[in-house]
A = this chain, B = another copy of it.
Amino acid sequence: MTLDQLRIFVEVAEHGHVTRAAESLGMSQSAASAAIASLEGSCEIILFDRVGRGIRLTDNGRIFLREARAVLDRASMARSVLQDLAGHPGPIGIAASQTIATYWLPRRLATFQAANSRMRFNVVIRNTNEVETAIVEGEANIGLVEGPTQHPALIRQLIDHDKIVLVVSSEQPRLPLNKNGRLDLRVMKWVVRETGSGTRRGLEDLAARVGLSVNDLNIALELPSNEAVREAIEAGAGATIISRHVVASAIAAGRLTEIPIELPQREYAMVRHRDRHATLAEKALVAHLTEATSQPVSLELSENSLKVAP
């Protein structure tokens, strides 16, 4: 069993196709075919069913695929450590939430890049839940999330705070206030991000803190990006709670109106894998991203409703 065989096996399994896998690996079809045959022969096991003129993973193959991936992941980690030690750092994988990747990360990465021109980054946008798994699985080195994280294998560092705001379209700023002149979350129409995103979580947390469950809220629209949500709100689809960065210019331009209630600040956190070796490059980036974090602010809440500032 060699790493090459595993690499070929995984590629073939993922493509479901010997020829295309071979292409994508830059080798001949016969070489790929031979590698699979040799892997199967070495343990007298069948990993692919030859069905028709194609192939399909057997159940055994599917089980072994997980193992093969794990070995390759570990090997690529080892390789990147080696290259880092040799002073040829590979790209640093960063998985960040939409809000952070769009409004927080770019300028910090730019200043860091300016000072460390040889370093390269590989930034992917994932919602908070997906970032968590990306770090645990080793798909990325550094994760940047808004909400809380659960996994015990993660170390978490606070890196910043974000003010979130409640906004509605400027064309229909009629607020459903209750008899006490307070804002009732239940009678508003909400436009939200998908479950698992930090932005969505912001609303869920707020609801929970005034004694409501998510089911009590009237979710009118669920959209997959901050900008999509903003567009919907501008079109009058309802209200949302979102990072001030996303809506600052729309508010300034008068297209959106911010409802002046006190909302909790949200934490931006960096998560990394507890047991994974951090390359020198990674350590430098971590240091750069963690410097100068601001302080959180508390929030006063009451039953099912929120005080609107005078």
Contacts and interface: CB of A to CB of B under 8 A. Distances in A.
Interface of A: 1-4, 6, 43-45, 60, 63-64, 66-68, 70-71, 74-75, 77-79, 81-83, 85-86, 88, 152, 277
A40 to B, nearest CB: 9
Contact of A70 (B66, B78, B85): B78
Nearest to A75: B71
A70 B74 CA distance: 7
B43 A83 contact: yes
A277 to B, nearest CB: 7
A75 B71 CA distance: 6
Contacts of A85: 43, 45, 60, 63-64
User: How many of these chains are in the complex?
Assistant: 2
Please indicate which of the listed interface residues A2, A66, A86 has the most CB atoms of chain B within 10 Å of its own CB.
A86
Please indicate which of the listed interface residues A3, A6, A79, A85 has the most CB atoms of chain B within 10 Å of its own CB.
A85
Contacts of A66: 277
A78 B6 CA distance: 10
Contacts of A88: 43-44
A43 B74 contact: no
Given A43-B86, A70-B77, 19 more contacts: A1-B3, A1-B82, A2-B2, A2-B4, A3-B3, A43-B83, A43-B85, A43-B88, A45-B82, A45-B85, A45-B86, A60-B86, A63-B81, A67-B74, A67-B82, A70-B74, A70-B78, A71-B78, A152-B152
